[in-house]
C-alpha cells in the first residue's frame, strides 16, 4: 500500500449469502470495511447488470424511451447548424444509453450542474443530477454515434425509477 500508493484494499468472499472471509487495510487508520466509497467507472458493470435484471423481470425494455422513466428527457435538445435549440430526430432509448450513443459527453462542469451543486450544497440525488444533464444540449442525435459519456449515470436513474429503489 505504501509503495504503490494504493489508498485502500478490501476483500469480502461470500458463498450463498454467508460471509466466509473479510480483510480491509489502507493508508488511513479509519478503514474497517464499513466505508462508503466512490466507485467511478467500476460501477458500469453493476449498472448494466442491474438494468438487464430489470429487463428480465419485465420492469423495463431496452427499446423504452428514457422519458418514460425520466420525464425531463422529453425536453432533450441539440443545437442545429443555425445555433437553434431543436428536438433530436430520434427519441433517446435505454439501448442508446447502454451503448453510449445517447448524445451525452462526460462534462460534470456544465452550468446546470454547477447551479445544482451550489443550490444543494453538493447533496443532490442521482435523479437531480441526471435531470440536470438534459438541460445542456446533446452532442448529437441519440443513436447517431458512440461517445464515452454520462449515459450509464442516466441508466442508474432509470434503474431507481423502474425498481423503486435507490441506486
Local confidence pLDDT in tens for the 167 residues of the chain: 556 667 777 888 999 989 999 888 877 666 777 777 767 788 899 999 999 999 999 999 999 999 999 999 999 999 999 999 999 999 999 999 999 999 999 998 999 999 999 999 989 999 999 999 999 999 999 999 999 999 999 999 999 999 999 98
Q: How many angstroms separate the CA atoms of 147 and 135, rounded?
A: 18
pTM for the complete prediction? 0.79
Cα(25)–Cα(7) distance, rounded to whole angstroms?
A: 9
Contact in structure between 33 and 126 (CB atoms under 8 Å): no
Quick check: 89 and 140 in contact, CB under 8 A? no
CB neighbours of 118 closer than 8 A, spacing ≥ 6? none
The Cα–Cα gap between 73 and 152 comes to: 15
What is the spatial distance between Cα 152 and Cα 97, in angstroms, rounded to a whole number?
6
Question: How much of the chain is helix, strand and coil, in % rounded to 5?
Answer: 35, 15, 50
Distance CA 61, CA 146 (A): 20
Amino acid at each position: 500500500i505504501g509503495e504503490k500508493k494504493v489508498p485502500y484494499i478490501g476483500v469480502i468472499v461470500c458463498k450463498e449469502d454467508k460471509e466466509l472471509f473479510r480483510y480491509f487495510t489502507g493508508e488511513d487508520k479509519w478503514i474497517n470495511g464499513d466505508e462508503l466509497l466512490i466507485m467511478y467507472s467500476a460501477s458500469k458493470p453493476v449498472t448494466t447488470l442491474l438494468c438487464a435484471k430489470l429487463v428480465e423481470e419485465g420492469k423495463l425494455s431496452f427499446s423504452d424511451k428514457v422519458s418514460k422513466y425520466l420525464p425531463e428527457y422529453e425536453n432533450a435538445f441539440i443545437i442545429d447548424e443555425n445555433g437553434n435549440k431543436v428536438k433530436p430526430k430520434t427519441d433517446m432509448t435505454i439501448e442508446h444509453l447502454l451503448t453510449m450513443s445517447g448524445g451525452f459527453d462526460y462534462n460534470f462542469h456544465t452550468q446546470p450542474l454547477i447551479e445544482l451543486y451550489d443550490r444543494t450544497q453538493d447533496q443532490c440525488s442521482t435523479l437531480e443530477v441526471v435531470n440536470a444533464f438534459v438541460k445542456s444540449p446533446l452532442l448529437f442525435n441519440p443513436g447517431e454515434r458512440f461517445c464515452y459519456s454520462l449515459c450509464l449515470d442516466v441508466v442508474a436513474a432509470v434503474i431507481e425509477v423502474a425498481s423503486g429503489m435507490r441506486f
